[in-house]
Structure 1
Amino acid sequence: MKGNKHQLSEDAKLCKRWAFGLTALLIIGFPGVMFLTGYSYSLEFFKGWTYLSFSWLIIAGLYIAFRPVVEYMQGKDGQP
């Protein structure tokens, strides 16, 4: 049981690092580079980027919300 908790803790740390890294890259880093180079955002580009960001947010939220429910329904060995 203790080994499972340790593995779960390690996996959670890895997932947090990936989540924060991707968020920083896609939401802050990519637009930030364009801002620093003097890129002039068009309204269409801004709308597209906003739609992409919110879509990512909604899909990630739904996945995070429903994945534990699906795993619970499948049971410990993948059987209901």
Structure 2
Amino acid sequence: MNDQELMKDTKLYTRWAIALSLVLVVIWPGIMFSTGYIYSLQFFKGWVCLAFGWLIIAALFITIRPLIELYKEYK
């Protein structure tokens, strides 16, 4: 990859990261808080499972994708 492609990808992924962070950390919980929703234990467990699933998928992507790109580069 050249520097121009890296800068393009950096901008794209930065926008995605900011947008997802705003939606998942601010907007979605903010809407639920403003409606007076009472969090149950079941709901909390669901959020924890969702967070762990997200972490596992991110870790796999961060680990495997560079290996695939390295393989393609040597091929």
TM-score (norm 1): 0.79
Separation of aligned partners in 2, 1:47 and 1:58: 16
Superposed CA RMSD in Å reads 1.8
Same amino acid, percent of matched pairs:
51
Question: What 5-or-longer segments of structure 1 have no aligned partner?
Answer: none
Report what 2:16 is aligned to: 18
Match of 1:38 among 36, 47, 63: 36
More helix by share: 2
Q: One-letter code of the match for 1:67?
A: R
What displacement does 1:39 show? Answer: 0.5
Q: One-letter code of the match for 2:28?
A: F
Separation of aligned partners in 2, 1:12 and 1:72: 19
Residue correspondences, number: 75
TM-score (norm 2): 0.83
